[in-house]
Amino acid sequence: MRKTIRLLFLLSLIVIAMPSKGLASENLQAIIDSAGDGAVIHLENKTYEGNIVIDKPIEIIGDKKTMIKGDGTGNVISIRSPHVKLRNLIVTNSSLDRNSSEEYAAIKVYTDHNLIDSITIKHFFHGIYLSQAHHNTVQNTEITGLGKGQIANQGNGLHVYYSNDNTLKNNVIEGTRDGMFFDYANRNQISNNRISETRYGLHYMYSDHNAFEGNTFTFNTGGAAIMHSRGITLENNQFIFNYGHKSFGLLLLSAIDTVIEDNTFFLNQRGLYIDQSTNSLIKNNQIVKNQIGIELWASSNEQSFTLNKIEENTLPAVTLGGKGRNEWTVDKKGNDWGKSFPVLDLNQDGIGDQPISYQSSLYELIEDQELTYLFLKSPAVAIYEKMNQFFHKEETMFEDPFPLVKSDHPSIHWIWYVLASLMVLTVIILKGRHQLCIIFGKNGRKT
């Protein structure tokens, strides 16, 4: 009997002494501290305790289930040396404190020439934060926030602060406050990222000469907001189904010298929303099936629209607040306005023989009543327009002197019609009808 009791006692001591399954017995910070410059550290498929500071040029490589879990009091990983590489990790549990002077993140980078590759990030304030950090690459990350109901309580997926010449590519961001936030950040390259279910997919302040190419913004309150910035280029991006009260695909506010080319704006409340901006080139974009294709305020001047396909929007384009100095043609090439504005082309040069113009009285309602956006598809709006036609209260919203003749060949962007339909079906199947009510509300507004 005594032998049995002793055996059980020894077994219990062994169990207590053994580390819990999946929890790293090694101290990761100690491993880093003992490594030499240029070392490559391979981590196992288990959870390592954060918070850690990397202050030497090393490479850390994880496996499929390698996790670094913070203690919830600060940054999970702080990179304070250049030439650090992180690969194949799950990083979680940074501080969520919004009142600290230190804006915490799952990964915070303070240095240059680092690589962050194939990282999954969960439960954080900011996902990845570049702070005065230049020439870094962030790629192939998956950053999942707390969801739309918690937007006010969290930070951004990728936060770029006073950081220049970085490359951000092939990242997937969902459910954060803003997908990507740039503040005083210049000459960054942002490509092939997918951002959804955020406040603004892209939020941009006081940052110049950045290039955005091949990104997709869906199911955000606002697709992208470019504010107080110069020399931004947006090419081949997709702004699809960004919908809600006063929502938009792309907002330009106090933006100068912006190039917007070969993008798709589909099923947004407003495709393009331009205010207090100067010298934008809007060329060869697909602006289709939005409530308002283009909303252009008179505070914006020298906007040039050419070779765009602008059709099947509830309102093709509205100019508000008076008349600005803007052009709807470049080098005698205007825009394709679709079936709503049929034109003749007797000489077969692809340009309409007569200019087209669009008159509307809705500008007064839109300027004075914010709720007008919710009722643009209502039959009452059509009645309101007919009444004002009778009383000659309409204003010219745009005049295109050289409209393009509609091509007989189908646009390659028909695929976005199919994809958008699949998105809606996916929401119905996976999240149910209730999710559609959240997106649209009873009157078509997001709640």
Residue 182 banded pLDDT, cuts 50, 70, 90: very high
Both tokens assigned to 196: 């959804």
What confidence tens digit (pLDDT) does each residue in 283-297 have?
999 999 999 999 999
Number of other CB atoms surrounding residue 443 within 10 Å: 10
Residue 423's pLDDT is 64
Q: 128: closest CA among 102, 99, 104?
A: 104
Closest CA to 50 of 102, 93, 19, 110: 93
Q: What three-state secondary structure class fits 178?
A: strand
- Residue 57, pLDDT score: 98
Q: Which residues, 6+ apart, have CB-to-CB distance to 118 below 8 Å?
A: 87, 88, 89, 139, 140, 141
Burial 407-435 (b: 16+ CB within 10 A, else e): eeeeeeeeebeeebeebeeebeeeeeeee
Q: Residue 366, Cβ neighbours under 10 Å: how many?
A: 18
- Contact between 62 and 43 (Cβ < 8 Å): yes
Tell whether the torsion through CA atoms of 170, 440, 224 and 337 is positive or negative. positive
* 389 CB neighbour count, 10 Å cutoff: 13
Per-residue pLDDT at 333 exceeds 60: yes
pLDDT tens string 309-329: 999 998 999 998 888 899 999
What digits encode the pLDDT tens for the residues 370-413?
A: 656 656 666 656 565 556 555 556 688 889 999 999 765 454 45
- Inform me whether the pLDDT recorded for 446 exceeds 50: no
- Stronger pLDDT, 270 or 415, i.e. the higher one: 270
Q: What is the pLDDT of residue 441?
A: 41
Structure tokens at 165: 């010449």
- What's the alpha-carbon Rg for the chain, to the nearest Å? 27
If we measure between CA atoms, which residue out of 382, 378, 379 comes closest to residue 444? 378
Please list, in sequence order, all residues whose beta carbon lies within 8 angstroms of the beta carbon of residue 256, skipping any fewer than 6 positions away. Answer: 229, 230, 231, 277, 278, 279
Average pLDDT over residues 325-335: 96
* Two structure tokens written together for 111: 């240095």
- With contact defined as beta carbons under 8 Å apart, do 127 and 107 qualify? yes
Residue 55 predicted with pLDDT over 50: yes
Asked if pLDDT for residue 363 goes beyond 80, the answer is no
Question: pLDDT, tens digit, for every residue of 186-245?
Answer: 999 999 999 999 999 999 999 999 999 999 999 999 999 999 999 999 999 999 999 877
Q: Dihedral through CA 282, CA 285, CA 288, CA 292, nearest 10?
A: -10
Q: Classify 219 as helix, strand or coil.
A: coil
CA–CA distance, 407 with 412 (Å, rounded to integer): 12
CA 386 – CA 398 distance, rounded (Å): 19
Cis peptide before 51 (omega within 30 of 0): yes
Note the pLDDT of residue 13: 43
Q: Tell me the helix, strand and coil percentages in the chain, rounded to 5.
A: 20, 35, 45
Choose between 427 and 213: higher pLDDT: 213
- The answer to whether the CB of 192 falls within 8 A of the CB of 162 is no
Of the ranges 63-72, 99-108, 372-381, the best mean pLDDT one: 63-72
Amino acid letter, residue 364:
E
Which of the 8 DSSP states describes residue 407? Answer: P
**What mean pLDDT is predicted for residues 328-340?**
95
Mean pLDDT of the chain: 86
- pLDDT of residue 10 exceeding 70: no
Hunting for tokens 């702004």 — which residue is that? 239
Q: What is the pLDDT of residues 126-149, one digit of tens each?
A: 999 999 999 999 999 999 998 877
Query: Among 24-28, 153-157, 375-379, whose mean pLDDT is lowest?
Result: 375-379
| Residue ranges with strand state E in 361-432 | 395-400
Q: Answer yes or no: is pLDDT of 77 > 60.
A: yes
More confident residue, 166 or 437: 166
pTM score, whole prediction: 0.84
> CB of 107 within 8 A of CB of 129?
yes
Q: Is 318 exposed, middle or buried (0-12, 13-18, 19+ CB in 10 A)?
A: buried
CB 379 within 8 A of CB 386: no
Which pLDDT score, from 0 to 100, does residue 237 have?
98
pLDDT at position 252: 98
